[in-house]
A = this chain, B = another copy of it.
Amino acid sequence: MARPEGEREIIARIRQAAGSSGDLLLGIGDDCAVYKTPPDRVSLVTTDTMVEGVHFDLAWHPPLELGRKAASVNISDIAAMGGLPRFALLSLALAPAFDGRWLDAFMVGFLAVLAEHGVALIGGDTVQSGHESVLAVTVLGEMAEAELVTRKGARPGDVVLVSGFLGEAAAGLALCRLGLAHEPDWQTLVAAHLDPVPQVALGRALAVSGLVYAMQDLSDGLATDLAHVCTESGVGALVMADKIPLSPVLRQAAEICGQSPLDWALSGGEDYQLLFTVGEQQVAELCTLVREQTGRELFAVGRIIEGQGVFLEEAGQRREISYRGYEHFR
């Protein structure tokens, strides 16, 4: 390592604030972390990498919110299976410009999200990078095997649902790029980009219900993420443009930015809402159950069909949008 003392100080500081858990036998400070998984549970693991200048821009992403987001986008993957997040590892490759104050604020945000979800930081490393900083996070979770919801179970006839407004994060990013991040009107959208909320409680409720056939989180936009579900399940999907939940403030921002709100929803990505399919006969039951348990509304946006490909229906016209957005096919 190029900076052994700096690295040791950073690790000591992080170790103090890392949190704990009854199942954790050994956290930060050895070659490995060591933990127990209850015997009747399966383990989940996911990893996500964020690169400065590609996945985040320090010009408008404050360190605390970036720390929160680095934790949240990984916890979101656990939520997308219906799991409980338990442990996290953080690998930081930091450009020379990063100082201790930046790192402190980043860690405050990162550890706050972990604490909100009962997750302990159990390992990682801190290395120097030459030009851009790279943040790689791994999150471990657990759940009962019987409750696991994968991308593979969608069947023709299923209704496709999403758990909230789409396109908000893409709109927030566009507003940040235009230098409008601090205007009061856009705070909901900007927060959706800077500090997305992983849907852990909702994911658990959906998985425990036993009514959901396939699920994933919306990280790359509906067009791409639904295509993943369809590819894994061996089916196609039809999305109704007029059913996609777009908020009034999103439509206002789209006008300001000269963008299509539907394109943001389909291809913008980073909303971290849940996308899932349910048998037609069970939709009402699930919506009632979710409303009672979490106070949340669900939005039916389309249907699983035979064949392959994701299609958008708008004003009686169908076009394929698999792995793409909306404007790409104009």
Q: Which residues of A contact B (CB under 8 A)?
A: 1-2, 4-5, 8, 25-26, 29-37, 39, 42-55, 77-78, 80-81, 83, 87, 89, 91-93, 122-125, 127-132, 134, 136, 138, 140-141, 145, 148, 150-152, 216-217, 220, 224, 232, 269, 323
Q: Which 5 A-B pairs have the closest CB atoms?
A: A39-B39, A136-B136, A131-B131, A31-B80, A32-B44
- A125 and B49 contact, Cβ closer than 8 Å, known pairs A1-B220, A25-B42, A323-B4: yes
Q: How far is the CB of A72 from chain B (nearest CB, A)?
A: 14
Q: How far is the CB of A152 from chain B (nearest CB, A)?
A: 8
Q: Which of B1, B2, B49, B224 contacts A127 (CB 8 A)?
A: B49
Question: CB distance A54 to B220 under 8 Å?
Answer: no
Q: Which of B8, B33, B132, B138 contacts A131 (CB 8 A)?
A: B132
- A91 and B49 contact, Cβ closer than 8 Å, known pairs A34-B81, A54-B127, A77-B31: yes
B residues near A80, Cβ cutoff 8 Å? 31-32
Q: How far is the CB of A79 from chain B (nearest CB, A)?
A: 8
> In the bound complex, what is the Cα–Cα distance between A25 and B122 (angstroms)?
24
B residues near A151, Cβ cutoff 8 Å? 29-31
Q: How far is the CB of A203 from chain B (nearest CB, A)?
A: 10
Question: CB distance A52 to B130 under 8 Å?
Answer: yes
B residues near A141, Cβ cutoff 8 Å? 32
Question: CB distance B81 to A30 under 8 Å?
Answer: yes
B residues near A125, Cβ cutoff 8 Å? 47-49
Question: CB distance A47 to B129 under 8 Å?
Answer: no
B residues near A92, Cβ cutoff 8 Å? 49
> In the bound complex, what is the Cα–Cα distance between A85 and B32 (angstroms)?
11
A-B contact pairs, 23 of them (CB 8 A): A1-B220, A4-B224, A29-B151, A32-B77, A32-B141, A33-B44, A34-B43, A36-B42, A37-B37, A43-B43, A45-B87, A45-B138, A49-B91, A49-B93, A51-B134, A53-B130, A54-B127, A89-B138, A130-B131, A131-B132, A134-B134, A136-B136, A138-B138
> In the bound complex, what is the Cα–Cα distance between A145 and B65 (angstroms)?
38
B residues near A150, Cβ cutoff 8 Å? 26, 30
> In the bound complex, what is the Cα–Cα distance between A80 and B216 (angstroms)?
36
B residues near A36, Cβ cutoff 8 Å? 42-43, 145
**Nearest-neighbor residue (CB-CB) of A125 within chain B:** B49
> In the bound complex, what is the Cα–Cα distance between A115 and B287 (angstroms)?
46
B residues near A87, Cβ cutoff 8 Å? 45
**Nearest-neighbor residue (CB-CB) of A53 within chain B:** B130
Q: How far is the CB of A220 from chain B (nearest CB, A)?
A: 6
